Chains A and B, each alone.
Chain A
Amino acid sequence: GAVVSQHPSRVICKSGTSVKIECRSLDFQATTMFWYRQFPKKSLMLMATSNEGSKATYEQGVEKDKFLINHASLTLSTLTVTSAHPEDSSFYICSGGWGDTQYFGPGTRLTVL
């Protein structure tokens, strides 16, 4: 099956700093990548959809200036959480779209102190 990697798997940072999360499709070209966040025991929440070479489309209520998404190539998308605060602590998951199917990365657990 299609493989998606994420880096880092876990990050702890101080409040006010920025954190970058990388999402790579390893064995396929993902024209579309999706970013989700998930709080403990809660459902997946789609944050944004990114298409290679164009601006990301953000879901309602997601601050695009806070969650910067770059999809520079068919195999790499990045999410930068700017000026992170404790309420941004969550499990961030990316997925790559291939055909009409999504393949998820392993996720990044962000803790903001």
Chain B
Amino acid sequence: QKEVEQNSGPLSVPEGAIASLNCTYSDRGSQSFFWYRQYSGKSPELIMFIYSNGDKEDGRFTAQLNKASQYVSLLIRDSQPSDSATYLCAVNKADTNAGKSTFGDGTTLTVKP
């Protein structure tokens, strides 16, 4: 079992729809959770981070964390073609080097006009 698992996709949604990206992690002691977006041929860029159970909203993006279920998700509302990218879930364990994250393999999202 991988430490951080994501649906590989590809996930395809029509423009304007809600895209839902899911991630599960195995280390119950994990404390910090991140979502990165990576366009093809580019490096990852941080979209959101979340530390506490519940929802965190930033514009069209909402991160959801459920530590009991070891589950973190990213919702993208009003999806745009420019949201088409690979989304990486990253998790920090409690006892790791500052900033060291374990990454999932990513989910590729395609938003069709």
Interfacial residues, chain A to chain B (CB-CB below 8 A): 1, 31-32, 34, 43-44, 46, 49, 51, 57, 91, 93, 95-107
Known contacts A43-B105, A43-B106, A44-B88: does B99 contact A97 (CB below 8 Å)? yes
Q: Which residues of A contact B90 (CB under 8 A)?
A: 102
Across the interface, which residues of B come within 8 angstroms of A1, CB to CB? 46
- Please tell me if the beta carbons of B88 and A107 are within 8 angstroms of each other in the complex: no
A-B interface, 9 closest residue pairs, ranked by CB to CB distance from nearest: A97-B99, A43-B105, A107-B43, A104-B43, A100-B32, A93-B43, A102-B99, A104-B44, A97-B98
Distance of A101 from chain B, by nearest CB (Å): 6
Closest residue of B by beta carbon distance from A2: B46
> How far in angstroms is the closest Cβ of chain A from B38?
8
Q: Verify A32–B98 contact, CB threshold 8 A.
A: yes
Nearest residue, chain B, Cβ from A44:
B103
Choice from B34, B42, B92, B100 contacting A49 with Cβ under 8 Å: B100
In the complex, how many angstroms separate the beta carbon of B15 from the nearest chain A beta carbon? Answer: 24
Min CB–CB distance B102 → chain A (angstroms): 9
B6-34 interface with A by 8 A CB criterion? 31-32, 34
* B interface size (C-beta, 8 A): 23
Chain B residues positioned under 8 Å from A91 (CB to CB) = 41
Contact pattern, B 67-110, Cβ under 8 Å of A = 1, otherwise 0: 00000000000000000000010101000011111011110000
A32 near B49 with CB under 8 A, answer no
With known contacts A32-B99, A44-B88, A101–B49 Cβ distance under 8 A: yes
| CA of A49 to CA of B46, assembled, Å | 19
- In the complex, what distance in Å separates the CA atom of A34 from the CA atom of B90? 14
